[in-house]
Amino acid sequence: MKTGIAKSFLFFAVVMATFTACKDRNAEKRIAELEGRLAELEGKKGTAPTPSANPVTATTPDEKPEGPLPKMDFETTEHDFGTIKEGDVVEYTYAIKNTGEAPLIIQSAQPSCGCTVPDFSKEPIPAGGTGYVKAKFDSNGKQNIQNKTITVTANTWPKQTVLRFKAMVTPKAGSAGPTAH
């Protein structure tokens, strides 16, 4: 019985170490990228440390594809929910019009936080057609000013568009302290 428990504990420890190692590597890579960008902005090109890049996973800058392209035109890329109560679930739909010359295909809509669930037009949007990206925000556990984003990736140029929304979340009665994320 003791060896079964020991094996289970060892398995759990290995799994946790694996997840932690992946997060650490991603964090280190992201920090190096940000340091490089900061050095570039400060005019000190080449002085920031470069991340140890694996040639297999190193990415090259995207190039604008040739030929007709779709174009996402949003009525707005920002929305203010105003003041809401902690625990409220609110939604906003960002309307899109394809003003390009080819069908628009939204590949993904990635939220900045697990409290936001995006939905989007899954079918190609023809030139001149309309579609949507919907943001559903759950304010449970969130207090004070909340600023969130949804990164929309599509077959456009540039490939990504960032949608933003904000809300002022009033705490539930008896809630413990402010949290802003």
Point out the least confidently predicted range of 56-60, 114-118, 132-136, 147-151.
56-60
Over range 120-138, report the average pLDDT: 98
pTM, whole model, 2 decimals?
0.63
Sign of CA dihedral 6, 12, 15, 17: negative
How far apart (Å, rounded) are the C-alpha atoms in residues 154 and 171?
Answer: 37
Domains of the chain, residue spans: 1-59, 72-170
The token duo for 79 is: 């929305």
CATH dotted code for 72-170 = 2.60.40.10
Q: Is the pLDDT of residue 23 over 50?
A: no
Return the pLDDT at 173.
Answer: 81
Q: What is the pLDDT of residues 38-95, one digit of tens each?
A: 566 666 544 444 444 444 555 566 788 888 999 999 999 999 999 999 999 999 999 9
Question: For the chain, where are the E strands, in sequence order?
Answer: 72-74, 78-85, 89-98, 106-111, 116-120, 130-138, 144-154, 160-170
Q: Which one has a higher pLDDT value, 172 or 37?
A: 172
Say how far apart CA 27 and CA 33 lie, in whole Å.
10
Q: Is the pLDDT of residue 117 over 50?
A: yes
| Residue 96: partners with Cβ closer than 8 Å, 6 or more residues away | 72, 73, 74, 104, 121, 125, 130, 131, 132, 133
> Two tokens at 122?
């899954």
